[in-house]
Amino acid sequence: MSRIVGRPVPRVEGHAKVTGAAEFTADVHVPGALHGVMVLSTVARGRITRLETRQAERSAGVAAVMTHRNMPRLTVPEPHLLVKRFLPLQDTEIHHSGQPVALVLAETLEQAQHAATLVRVSYDTQPVRTVFEDAMDDAWIPPPEEEPGETPVPNELTRGDPEGALARADLRVDVTYTTPIHHHNPIEPSATTAVWRGRKVTVYDASQGVTAAQESIAQALDLPVGHVRVISRYLGGGFGCKTPWPHTVLTAAAAREVDRPVKLVLSRSDSYSLHGHRSQAHQRLRLGARRDGTLTAIDHVTTQQVSRTEDEFLPSASVPTRRLYACDNLSLAQRAVRLDLPTPAWMRSPEVMPAHGLECALDELAYAADMDPIELRLRNHTATDPETGEPFPSKHLKECYRRGATAFGWSERNPRPGSMRDGRIRIGWGMATAAHSAGGMPGAAARVTLSTEGTAQVQVATQDIGTGTYTVMSQMAAHVLGLPLDDVDFVLGDTNLPYASLSASSATVPAVGSAVNRTCTKARQKLIGLAVADPRSPLHDLPADGITAEEGTLYQTSRPERRDSIRAVLTRHGRPLDVATEAPEESGEQYSTGAVFAEVRVDPLLGQVRVTRMLGAFDPGRVLNRRTIRSQVIGGFIWAVGFTLTEHTLLDTRYGRFVNRNLSGYLIPVNADIPDIQALFIDQPDPTSQALGARGFGETPMCGMTAAIANAVHHATGRRIRDLPLTQDKLIASAS
Amino acid sequence: MSDNDEAPIGGHSRRAVLKTGGFAATLVATGGVLGTAVGEGAGAAPPAPATEVTLDVNGRTHRLTVETRVTLLETVRERLGLTGTKKGCDRGECGACTVLVDGRRVKSCLTLAVMEDGREITTVEGLARGEELHPVQEAFIRRDAFQCGFCTPGQIMSAVACIDEGHTGSDDEIREWMSGNLCRCSCYPNIVDAVRDAARERA
Ligand code: FES
Ligand code: FES
């Protein structure tokens, strides 16, 4: 097989992206489309008592103002499709601030924006509960979520005798960590354009799950699934917020009502209440250990916000506590508190919240045990999966610690907090283990068509959310088929293609990668079958298993000069070769780990933290493309900088209203915040992977790096701030 | 070259729509309207006038009639069909809409088309010479300076200007002068590499 996989090839869609030719959802030109603008509720709970739309309707260019009065009644799609359990514009009930109460449709965006200001709404309001801390006493443990094709996650788990072990422990750590609300803020706002032809609708949607969007629309509008086509060829990031949310369904419904195509692009401000957030969270961790650092007990209780309209949706699962370290006595609870806020969402690396608590608490334990934090982690390393008792099929985490530490120069670290200085600047070095689960989602189908010219088209209804799906899947297909990369065209983002699930849970490699491998392997076998059956081929009558496909050629493995070109085989065949495979129920669950290191410089007078170095050594299984995987690491690390130092959505608790609903008040990192980043990979294939030895990996790097940064801040200053983000005010306050 | 572009949009030419009158002069920069909390009295505002502007975009002259409230961003995207320029926030925070106006980088969501009458605009579509990419575009591909690619047109336009301005003396200087362009996929180190490469190539 050719060595295309593993090569750091540039992104195959790069040219389209640097020239502006890549057509994102809002770029799709649909003649005659009306522009939609949402009007959002200003109260968090209550009922609409008056909704005055006449002035807006009379405003220039306005085609319609859609409200609960004139929208058709819709069915709420099933929970595995739509996590939000109600659709707006259906009745007068208000469940959270920023809920749509009207959708203005006009000929131009400016007309719709203006008319939206003319809609008048009055409410009968009810008292709200919006303060997380106030609701802690009512926290409860929901039953586990059941989703088709997914592994159910228990919200409560006990192994051994954690209380007894804690009581007997030589060393104990009992700490509480808190994290705020976060918003995804992809630079591309969510957008939908719906175009009806008769009883069928085509929906261009900024979607990280075209098939899920298709099913949601079909269920909501009571249509056969085949009447809905969803297209998302280029996607400007998603990070968890571009799974189906009501605005997509509402746009499709509104377009049918007004009998015109409708285009809705959410404003940045709208995006804060229309597609979820990472919940505010509280976690208490109690660790027990022997004097040598061996963990004897972990008790981990996390609490996350849910809204009043859903019950069982806790996106941040405490997987690291369950799977990352050996510990016989464990108790774990994942609790919910109900507030009058919008429904939360998955957000990049959902396990980061519990991982942050665990990895910071381990740093605290390392200080309590007077041990190096890497040493502590090695002491508690596990080669078997504590979840199943089976050995991990391939886990090179120890090697990650070793290589990461060497590359970072960890042995130079003076462990005493505040001991490393550069003038008045305090320098801190911190580390943590990075880990995130991957896959466990429904599997994918695929179709391969080999043309008579010897080129291949590979089709899957998946998405490229920016991770490099186009590129990596093209590489895999070329590798398995034995074609040059340029002869492979990978097509995605359209429900007319073979099924795939969401681009989420780091599942694209395990689900789509496996499908591409499986289908292309079958196509290659058929191709070789054609060659050996063809008397005109130099390979005629040779055993099929003795033939290799590489760079457009089939040759006898033992005598490579005996060869035929793939193109010639197909040309003689005279018609395209078509191979399709069905989607398996599940894509398999994987776990990718690594070791991460950060250096910070803290100005104690200003409380300012600068991250000056970030480094990670990772075990993602086989590396499919060093360039795109490195970008995943960089992305995850920079998200960790935001999570730890700058990002938080602020709430006006009186109205349950997010106040910094923009990019100047919600601080995502900018270029000047980010230092050089180093990423190392063990690059050993996972024998259980059906995606050429690669595992899902994209969400691993962020987990761990947040704690590495916070641990570095502690090392620099001696202050352990357990409430994120570590803003200047907190550092100054804690210094005094 | 000059063309009089009065393409109908939504089945109505803007001019026809304009004749119906009743426009407010208020520029509503964001669509996220929180009920009655904003826009009080907007209905009483006088009609928004429309005016003729001439924009030289990527070497082509366009004469257009635009409402005075329409941003340069909406004009290039919706009127000229140049959708390479992106809208990420519509309020000057993200930089996805960056274009060059007379060679200077400008966030096109923060300026109105009428304010740029007679000026030369360059968008991302105007950088390559035929099949030959601009060195900044080449460098962005080579250095993997994007993931989703949505912020990329703005990053590239900003990078072109950053190099012209001479703000590429060090990596730190590049970081500082490229900080008006947000990238949520977080490709910053690779963007710095790409800008440094392209600046060297030019030197
Ligand atoms: S769209 Fe202009 S700065 Fe964001
Ligand atoms: S590449 Fe996705 S936002 Fe920059």
Three-state SS annotation for A289-348: ECCCCCEEEEEEEEEEEECCCCCCCCCCCCHHHHHCCCCCCEEEEEEEEECCCCCCCCCC
Q: Is residue A4 part of a domain?
A: no
pLDDT in tens, A152-166: 678 999 999 999 999
**Contact yes or no for A24 and B150 at CB 8 A:** yes
Percentage of the residues of chain A whose pLDDT score is greater than 70? 98
R_g over Cα of chain B? 19
Structural domain contains residue A246? yes
Q: Is the pLDDT of residue A598 over 80?
A: yes
Q: How far apart are CA B13 and CA A679, in angstroms?
A: 54
* CA-nearest residue, atom 3 of ligand 1: B92
Please name the residues between 24 and 63 in chain B that touch chain A, using a CB distance below 8 Å.
24, 26, 28, 30-39, 42-43
Residue with more model confidence, B11 or A339: A339
Q: How many Å apart are CA A189 and CA A26, to the nearest integer? A: 9
- Do A149 and A296 sit in the same domain of this protein? yes
| pLDDT tens digits, A463-506 | 999 999 999 999 999 999 999 999 999 999 999 999 999 988 88
Per-residue pLDDT at B40 exceeds 50: no
A487: tokens are: 């002869």
pLDDT at residue A151, rounded to an integer: 62
Same-domain pairing of A80 and A96: yes
pLDDT above 50 for A648 = yes
ipTM for the whole complex: 0.96
Residues of chain B found within 8 Å of residue A62, distances taken between Cβ atoms: none
**B contact residues 160-179, partner A, Cβ 8 Å cutoff:** 172, 174-176, 178-179
Pairwise CB contact (< 8 Å): B84 & A21: yes
Boundary of a domain, candidates A527, A553, A581:
A581
Closest ligand (CA of B194)? 2
Q: Do A204 and A118 belong to one domain?
A: yes
Q: How far is B98 from chain A (nearest CA, A)?
A: 12
What mean pLDDT comes out for the span B33-61?
66
Residues A145 and A122 reside in one and the same domain: no
- The closest alpha carbon to A116, from B22, B46, B42, belongs to B42
Decide if B110 touches A, using CB distance below 8 A. no
Residues of A in contact with B64 (CB under 8 A): none
Note the pLDDT tens digit of each residue in A578-592: 999 999 988 888 999
Q: Do A109 and B31 touch (CB under 8 A)?
A: yes
Query: What pLDDT band is residue A549 in, cutting at 50, 70 and 90?
Result: very high
State mean pLDDT over B133-149.
98
Query: What's B62's DSSP letter?
Result: E
In a mutagenesis test of the B interface, which of A52, A117, A630 is the best target, namely the one with the most B β-carbons within 10 Å?
A117
Same domain, A166 and A193: no
Ligand 1 atom nearest the C-alpha of B92 is 3
Domain count, chain A: 3
Written as six digits, the tokens of A90 are 């259906």
DSSP A409-426: TGGG---STT--EETTEE
Report if residue A174 sits inside a domain.
yes
Lowest mean pLDDT among A119-128, A306-315, A519-528: A306-315
Strands (E), A557-669: 559-565, 577-581, 589-603, 608-619, 651-652, 657-658
pLDDT exceeds 70 at position A442 = yes
Whether A394 and A516 share a structural domain: no
pLDDT higher than threshold 80 for residue B45: no
For residue B52, give how far its alpha carbon lies from the nearest alpha carbon of chain A (Å). 18
* Confidence grade of residue A145 (pLDDT, cut at 50, 70, 90): confident
A398-420 pLDDT, tens digit each: 999 999 999 999 999 999 999 99
- Please report whether residue A536 resides in a domain: yes
Q: What is the CATH number of the domain that holds A384?
A: 3.30.365.10
Q: Count CB atoms within 10 A of the CB of residue B42.
A: 18
Does the pLDDT value for residue A514 go beyond 70? Answer: yes
Q: Buried b vs exposed e over B133-143: b needs ≥16 C-beta within 10 Å?
A: bbbbbbbbbbb
* Higher-pLDDT residue of A183, B15: A183
Chain A contact present for B19, CB below 8 A: no
Question: In the structure, what pLDDT confidence band is assigned to residue A735 with cuts at 50, 70 and 90?
Answer: low
Rounded CA gap, A571 and A565, in Å? 10
- Counting one residue from A and one from B, how many pairs have CB atoms under 8 Å apart? 267
Largest CA distance in chain B: 56
Whether residue A168 is found in the same domain as residue A196 = no
Nearest residue to A695 (alpha-carbon basis) of A561, A593, A574, A555: A593
From A546, A581, A616, give the residue that closes a domain. A581
Q: Quick one: A164 and A305 in the same domain?
A: yes
Does residue A1 belong to any structural domain of this protein?
no
Convert the pLDDT of each residue in A629-640 to its tens digit.
999 999 999 999
Q: What is the DSSP letter of A436?
A: E
Instruction: Spell out the SS3 assignment of A356-410.
Output: HHHHHHHHHHHHHHCCCHHHHHHHCCCCECCCCCCECCCCCHHHHHHHHHHHHCH
Given A560, A581, A602, the domain boundary residue is: A581
Task: Give residue-wise pLDDT tens across range A177-220.
Answer: 999 999 999 999 999 999 999 999 999 999 999 999 999 999 99
B chain contacts of residue A342, beta-carbon cutoff 8 Å: none
Peptide bond into A725 cis (omega under 30): yes
Answer whether residue A533 shows pLDDT above 90: yes
Identify the closest residue of chain B to A112 by CA–CA distance: B31
The mean of the pLDDT values for chain A is 96
Quote the ligand 2 centre to B153 CA distance (angstroms): 10
Q: Residues near ligand 1 with C-beta < 6 Å?
A: B 87-90, 92-97, 107, 109
Kindly report, residue by residue over A689-719, the tens digit of the pLDDT: 999 999 999 999 999 999 999 999 999 999 9
pLDDT of residue B11: 32
Regarding whether A114 and A90 lie in a shared domain, the answer is: yes
> What confidence tens digit (pLDDT) does each residue in B104-119 have?
999 999 999 999 999 9
Same domain, A328 and A206: no
Closest C-alpha to A357, from A105, A176, A134? A176
CA distance A112 to chain B (A): 8
Q: Please tell me the predicted confidence (pLDDT) of residue A679.
A: 98
pLDDT score at B46: 45
More confident residue, A593 or B48: A593
Instruction: Please report the pLDDT score of residue A288 as a whole number.
Output: 98
With beta carbons under 8 A apart, name residues in chain B contacting A662.
Answer: 89, 91, 93
Confidence of residue B47 (pLDDT cuts 50, 70, 90): low
Does residue A363 fall inside a structural domain? yes
Give the mean pLDDT of B134-158: 98
Residue with tokens 């500082």: B176
| Residue B149 Cβ contacting ligand 2 at under 6 Å | yes
Of chain B, the percentage scoring pLDDT greater than 70 comes to: 76
pLDDT above 90 as % of chain A: 94
What is the per-residue pLDDT for A12?
A: 96
Q: Is the pTM of this model over 0.90?
A: yes
On the CB side of A277, CA atoms within 13 Å amount to 29
Query: Do A167 and A219 lie in a common domain?
Result: no
Q: How wide is the angle at C-alpha A23 spanned by C-alphas A22 and A27, nearest 5°?
A: 140
State in Å: Cα A236 to ligand 1 middle: 14
Q: Cα(A477)–Cα(A609) distance, rounded to whole angstroms?
A: 45
Q: How far is the centre of ligand 1, averaged over its atoms, from the C-alpha of B74 (Å)?
A: 11
Gap from CA of A635 to ligand 2 centroid (Å) = 10
Task: Please tell me whether residues A43 and A153 are part of one structural domain.
Answer: no
- Closest partner residue to A631 (CB to CB) among B26, B147, B174 is B147
Ligand nearest to the CA of A669: 2
Per-residue buried b or exposed e for A333-371, using 16+ beta carbons within 10 Å of the residue's own CB:
bbbbbbbbbbbbbbbbbbbbbbbbbbbbbbbbbbbbbeb
Cβ-based contacts of A266 with chain B (< 8 Å): 31-32
Ligand 2 atom closest to the Cα of residue A237 is 2
A657 within domain boundaries: yes
Q: Does B4 touch chain A (CB under 8 A)?
A: no
> Which ligand 2 atom is the nearest neighbour of the CA of B149?
1
Q: Which residue segments constitute the domains of chain B, with CATH numbers given?
A: 3-37 (no CATH), 50-124 (3.10.20.30), 135-202 (1.10.150.120)
Domain span holding position A338: 138-181+278-440+588-735
A5 in any annotated domain: no
Angle between the N-to-C axes of helices A566-573 and A514-533, in degrees from 0 to 180, rounded to the nearest 10: 70
